[in-house]
Structure formats: C-alpha cells, structure tokens
Amino acid sequence: MKSTILKISEAAAIALHAADLLAAAPGPHAAKDIAKTLGVSYNHLSKVLQRLTHAGLVLPARGPKGGFTLSPAGRKALVRDFLSAMDGVPELHACLMGAKVCRHRDCMFGSFLEETNKRFEAVLNGKISEFSKRK
C-alpha cells in the first residue's frame, strides 16, 4: 500500500489535471480527448466532469462541437474549490499520528510538516487559471 502525506483521491487528481487542461486552451474539449490526453479512463473522467459540472466549476456544451469548458466561476476558482468538489474540504495535518497538538516536543517531522502545510496552503489558494500559465 502506498502511503503519502497528502490524501488526494485519484478523482481529485484527475479533476485538477482536467481543469488545468481546460484553463490552458479556450474552447470546448471533448471528454474522450481529455481522457486520452491525461491517460485516464473515459468513464472515470466522465464521473469527475459530472461532479465538477454539479459544483458549477465546469460547463458542458452539447452538439458536434460540444465538450467541456471551465465556467466563469471555474476560471476564478481556487485549487481548493476543485479539491473540495471531489474530496470535501482539504485538511492539513500537523501530526502523522493524528494528534491535534503534537505531544512530542522534538518530533523529527514537526518542522517538515509545518513547512509542507504552508506550501500546500499556498497551492490550495492559487487560482486554477494561473496554473496553466506556469510553464
């Protein structure tokens, strides 16, 4: 079993990558093209896009040139909003053992987790539309 400090579901990772792709290029994108570009299951992506649509972050367009685009709210949304739509509100953890306040004063992970949380918070507060401009 793979263990990570950040607990982000595969669906949330797909949502973030799909949003990044939609932010980078204007116009609707077909779900099958998004799935192929991201290398993910079309069915899984469809469920993710459905949840993002329900959250008001993505707009579906029907017809031969249909697909998905970021909604106006999605363009202004933070990374936190996309993660919340998939996994609920992200939680930051200051202790690997789950304590609210570490009882071990000199924990070897204390400063690492504090710095990691600060960096993750900065990512969460970034606009999704800015990530496509980072290259």
Structure confidence by residue, pLDDT tens digits, 70-111: 999 999 999 999 999 999 988 777 677 666 666 666 777 777
Residue 23 belongs to domain with CATH number: 1.10.10.10
- pTM metric for this prediction: 0.83
Domain membership of residue 1 (yes or no) is no
Length of the chain: 135
DSSP H/E element including 42: helix 42-54
Domain membership of residue 92 (yes or no) is yes
User: For residue 67, what pLDDT band results from cuts at 50, 70 and 90?
Assistant: very high
Q: How many domains does the chain have?
A: 1
Q: Which domain holds residue 17?
A: 10-131
User: What angle (nearest 5°) sits at the alpha carbon of residue 86, between those of residues 84 and 88?
Assistant: 40
